[in-house]
Structure 1
Amino acid sequence: MAVAEDKAVIRLLTEKIERLSVAMEKMRLAEYVHLLEHPWRLMYINLIAGIARGVGIAIGFTILGAVLVYVLRNLVAANLPGIGRFIAEVVRMVELHLY
């Protein structure tokens, strides 16, 4: 009986080790440890990621600003009472800074 119980325990441990191994492969733990062992590569990757984020933010803000100016121009053209002069002044200030 003890031999059968030992085999069952060994089989159970083997299955758990295999599941743990698969989970570690999914986490890409070895690649992360390799990256931590090479700090210059980590800094290079973070630098490239930061530059890409910065460029993305700049492009996104430019597009958003252009759309906002376009909408404000159309509101001024609609000649809405009350806010028309205010929007016209904002658009005028933006246009002065563009040229």
Structure 2
Amino acid sequence: MKATSMSVADTISWYCAIVLLGLILLASVRENSSEDVQPVRGSQLFDRPCDEIYVVGEGETLHTISDKCDDPFIVERNPHIQDPDDVFPGLVIKITPSKSRN
């Protein structure tokens, strides 16, 4: 009797795990499909909006990002930047514009 109840419990836990995994995958697919993702090419890189969380792109420097986003205090607000000259594509920084942008 004890072996049968353990077998039933194991089966139920596997079904629950599979259902949970399916729900997670379904939510992930829905979330990704709702976004209108378009690749950034050429000069579009410098036309990107300045979101609060900004990912440095190819050819960008802290100076160009500061000018574009109107945030002269990028280094001060991002303590993980040890060397302002060592900025690379993919680096995530926080942007806080000093005035509202149109």
Q: TM-score, normalised by structure 1?
A: 0.37
Query: Which has the larger Rg?
Result: 1
Greater strand proportion: 2
Greater helix proportion: 1
Q: TM-score, normalised by structure 2?
A: 0.36
